[in-house]
Structure 1
Amino acid sequence: MDDYKGTIQACTEFDKVKDSLILHKAMQGIGTDEKAIIDILAHRSNAQRQQLRAYYVTAFGRDLIGHFQSKLSGNFRRTVRALMDRPVEYYARCLYEATKGLGTDEEALVEILCTKTNQEIKEIKAQYKKDYLCDLKADIVGDTSGDFRRLLVSMCSAGREEGTEVDVDQAKVDAQEIFKASEARWGTDEAVFNRILATRSYAQLRAMFEEYSKISDKGIEGAITSETSGDLRDGFLSLVKSVRDPCSFFAGRLHKSMKGLGTNDQMLIRCVVSRAEIDLVEIKEMFLTQYGMTLGDYIKDDTSGAYRDLLLIIVEGEN
Structure 2
Amino acid sequence: MSDFAPTIHDYPNFDPRSDAEALRKAMKGLGTDEKTIVNVLGKRSNKQRQQIIVQYKMLYGKDLINDLKGELSGKFEAVIIALLVPTYEYDARLLRGSIRGLGTDEDLLIEILSSRSPSDIRQIKQVYQQLFKKDLEKDIINDTSGHFQRLLVSLSTGMRDEGNNIDPSLAKRDAEALLKAGVKKWGTDESAFNAILASRNFNQLRATMDEYRKISGHTLEQAIRSEMSGDLANAMTAVAKCAQYRPAYFAERLYNSMKGIGTNDDMLIRIVVTRCEVDMQNIKSEFQRLYGKSLESFISGDCSGDYKRVLIALVQGNF
Counterpart position of 1:115: 115
Counterpart position of 2:34: 34
Q: 1:69 deviation in Å? A: 2.2
Counterpart position of 1:191: 191
d(CA) in 2 for partners of 1:4 and 1:190?
32
- Contact 2:44–2:318 under 8 Å retained in 1: no
> Residue type matched to 2:43 in 1?
H
Q: 1:229 deviation in Å? A: 1.1
Aligned residue-pair number: 317
d(CA) in 1 for partners of 2:199 and 2:89?
26
Counterpart position of 2:291: 291
Q: 1:162 deviation in Å? A: 2.8
State the secondary structure of the residue aligned to 2:162.
coil
Counterpart position of 1:147: 147
> Residue type matched to 2:263 in 1?
T
Q: 1:196 deviation in Å? A: 0.9
d(CA) in 2 for partners of 1:285 and 1:200?
27
> Residue type matched to 1:310 in 2?
V
Counterpart position of 1:60: 60
State the secondary structure of the residue aligned to 2:260.
coil
Per-residue CA distance 1:98-141 (angstroms, 9 max, x = gap): 11223221121111111122211110001111112211111111
> Residue type matched to 2:130 in 1?
K
Counterpart position of 2:246: 246
Counterpart position of 2:98: 98
d(CA) in 2 for partners of 1:173 and 1:269?
40
State the secondary structure of the residue aligned to 1:209.
helix
> Residue type matched to 1:317 in 2?
G
Counterpart position of 1:270: 270
Counterpart position of 1:17: 17
Residue 309 in structure 1 maps to residue 301 in structure 2:
no
- Contact 2:89–2:127 under 8 Å retained in 1: yes
Q: 1:190 deviation in Å? A: 1.1
Per-residue CA distance 1:131-180 (angstroms, 9 max, x = gap): 12211111111221211111111111112123223222222111111111
Q: Matches of residues 67-216 of structure 1 in structure 2 within 5 Å?
A: 67-216=67-216
- Contact 2:68–2:77 under 8 Å retained in 1: yes
Change (3 A) 1:262 1:203: same
If the length of structure 2 is used for normalisation, what is the TM-score? Answer: 0.95
- Contact 2:9–2:318 under 8 Å retained in 1: no
Q: 1:231 deviation in Å? A: 1.2
Per-residue CA distance 1:41-78 (angstroms, 9 max, x = gap): 11112221111011111111122122222322221111
State the secondary structure of the residue aligned to 1:114.
helix
> Residue type matched to 1:298 in 2?
F
d(CA) in 2 for partners of 1:256 and 1:92?
23
> Residue type matched to 2:147 in 1?
D
> Residue type matched to 1:212 in 2?
Y
Q: Which runs of 5+ in 1 are unaligned?
A: none
- Contact 2:23–2:37 under 8 Å retained in 1: yes
d(CA) in 2 for partners of 1:292 and 1:236?
27
If the length of structure 1 is used for normalisation, what is the TM-score? Answer: 0.95
Identity value in percent: 45
State the secondary structure of the residue aligned to 1:104.
coil
Once the two structures are overlaid, the 10-residue window that deviates more, 28-37 or 240-249, is: 28-37
> Residue type matched to 1:94 in 2?
L
Once the two structures are overlaid, the 10-residue window that deviates more, 104-113 or 22-31, is: 22-31
Higher relative contact order (CA 8 A, sep 6+): 2
d(CA) in 2 for partners of 1:306 and 1:41?
13
Change (3 A) 1:165 1:15: closer
Q: CA RMSD in A?
A: 1.6
Change (3 A) 1:167 1:10: closer
Once the two structures are overlaid, the 10-residue window that deviates more, 7-16 or 252-261, is: 7-16
Counterpart position of 1:257: 257
Q: Which runs of 5+ in 2 are unaligned?
A: none
Q: 1:29 deviation in Å? A: 4.0
d(CA) in 2 for partners of 1:180 and 1:9?
46
Change (3 A) 1:247 1:132: same
